[in-house]
Chain A
Amino acid sequence: MHGRFVRVAEEDRPKVELYVDGRVCHALEGDTVLVAVLSQFQHLRESEFGDGDRAGFCLMGACQDCWVWTPSGDRLRACSTQVGSGLSILTRPPGEDIWPNPT
């Protein structure tokens, strides 16, 4: 599986590792979570209403189509969140033991 976004420049940046559904995702410092995920994977989340996967849309924090879950039940907007080392996101909603039940 390859990513969707293609880097065209600025590849000489420190590497950052994050986790997507438990799999390692190699990113660069300064990437947004959206770019990091989509440079290696094909989607960000699943539509709540049955129309399939989504991969964001506007990249400017307006469409709200890129909200993802974390394994601790937090939510973050992928296009406006910078990657940080060790960040972990899920492209599917977590189980009941994570949300809504407090850990």
Chain B
Amino acid sequence: MAQPNVVIIGAGPAGVRAAQTLVAAGLRPTVVDEGMRSGGQIYRRQPAGFKRPYQALYGFEAKKARAVHDTFDDLTTAIDYRPETLAWNIAGNTLHLVANNVADTLDFDALILATGATDRLLPVRGWTLPGCFSLGAAQIALKAQACAIGRRVVFLGTGPLLYLISYQYAKAGVDVAAVLDTSPFSGQLRALPLMASRPSLLAKGLYYRAQLMLRRIPVHSGVTPLQIEGESTVSAVRFRGATGGVKTISADAVGMGFHLRSETQLADLALCEFVFDETLSQWAPSADADGRSSIPGVYLAGDGVRILGADAAEITGELAALAALSDFEMPVSAHQVEILRHSRERMERFRRGLAMAFPWPALLARVVEDDVLLCRCEAITAGELRSSANCLGAPELNRSKALVRVGMGRCQGRYCGHAAAEVLAHTRGESLQDAGRLRGQGPVKPLSVNTRTGVR
């Protein structure tokens, strides 16, 4: 066949390695990315004109970040690079793009979705107050804008990012009032053997913790967040500690997050099959060991399919590209694939360790009080969602969405979907799987009515 046309969505570590692999095989892939610059989120680049060195921005990951950025920069002449471009929909083998309100289509022979992730949230009373941001937001503010989200910050949630960001803020001289981890310390100890599969990552985690201790920043484990307090702005965080005592910590900003969730909207619109992962209690698009989805020609890589982190994203990006090449019957080194798969498995083990050490606090989501806002976009309370099941008979999430609007807002369920599933399942006394998942609807992100169909 003539040169197959491969399109990659996302210029983070997965997309970059996929592009590199395809170019090395003699192809000229198209890379579509929403951002202004490559790097995705974890290796987000500061704007032109900013001067901080990589060490300051990425700490231990400086070398990796540099490698990813340099690799992509070196590739730009060998690829068709479309920055600040949103893939807003897909139909069959046609991708629908928009850049600067000009719509365009792109037909592909293979599509590699490397769409990354966002923070995963659950509602806490007061979380819509000005001053409450996601953990990722706190990191972006610091990394890409050289700002702290407030003068005195509480970090709340769970997962390795909680400690990384707290440390980064402390290192930048920001007053970190407390680090509140919903995960009990015992779970973190129990998970050590699994996490030892990636000793350097484990060591970094311990290092961040030690650094917080050295700086006398209170770290509480096993907390139950009660309220983000404030009238029209964050003023404090009230929580119950592991031993039962209630404490209030004054702060003017909160960074909150409970691990990450994959951005799977394009996979959904591409009609990829989704499966429920019992161990993670999450839905994800099904993918084989190399990233082939259930749709021939559509490959999935990076945190956009499984949250395995940046290192795994580089590996799965390469694996997905190799899978595409192999499916085009182009030569691929079986040995290379084996090595990559082996690495990926090691990262899977670590991920299971992380899930054990920092579990998604499902119970906290399930018991969120009726009057707490669950859907930020539409201001729908947990009670309204419960009523969709109790009074209106909704058996699963999409019906709840139709009847009480959860997930109908601008973010299309990104920040309420997980908690909504927990609340609905709990209300109905059913499994999380039976609560279903919000079905993807285009556009992937809001599309301007001023969009014009242009000729590129």
Contacts and interface: CB of A to CB of B under 8 A. Distances in A.
Nearest to B138: A59
Nearest to A10: B146
Given A62-B263, A62-B411, A8 B373 contact: no
Interface in A3-61: 4-14, 29-32, 35, 39, 42-44, 47-61
The size class of the interface chain A forms with chain B is 35 or more
Interface stretch (B16-24, B129-137, B271-279, B353-361): B129-137
A52 B142 contact: no
B233 A42 contact: yes
B411 to A, nearest CB: 5
Contacts of A61: 34, 445
Contacts of B48: 30
A64 B415 CA distance: 10
Nearest to B137: A59
Given A6-B148, A59-B136, A64-B410, A29 B49 contact: yes
A54 B119 contact: no
Interface stretch (B213-221, B240-248, B321-329, B374-382): B374-382
B174 A43 contact: no
B130 A59 contact: no
Given A4-B150, A42-B233, A64-B410, A51 B373 contact: yes
Interface in B395-419: 409-411, 414-415
A49 to B, nearest CB: 4
Interface in B154-180: 172-174
A30 B146 CA distance: 10
Nearest to A62: B118
Contacts of A8: 142, 146-148, 172-174
Contacts, number: 132
A17 B213 CA distance: 41
A69 interface: no
A17 B408 CA distance: 36
A12 B146 CA distance: 11
A7 B146 contact: yes
A9 B415 contact: no
Contacts of A65: 376-377, 410-411
Interface string B348-377: 000000000000000000000000010011
Most chain A beta-carbon contacts within 10 A, residue among B147, B172, B252, B376 = B147
B142 to A, nearest CB: 7
A60 B257 CA distance: 14
Contacts of A32: 145
Most chain B beta-carbon contacts within 10 A, residue among A4, A43, A60, A64 = A60
29 contacts: A4-B150, A5-B145, A5-B148, A5-B149, A5-B150, A8-B146, A8-B173, A8-B174, A9-B146, A9-B172, A10-B51, A10-B52, A10-B146, A29-B49, A35-B141, A44-B130, A47-B379, A53-B233, A57-B132, A57-B376, A58-B136, A59-B136, A59-B141, A60-B118, A60-B136, A62-B411, A62-B414, A63-B118, A63-B134
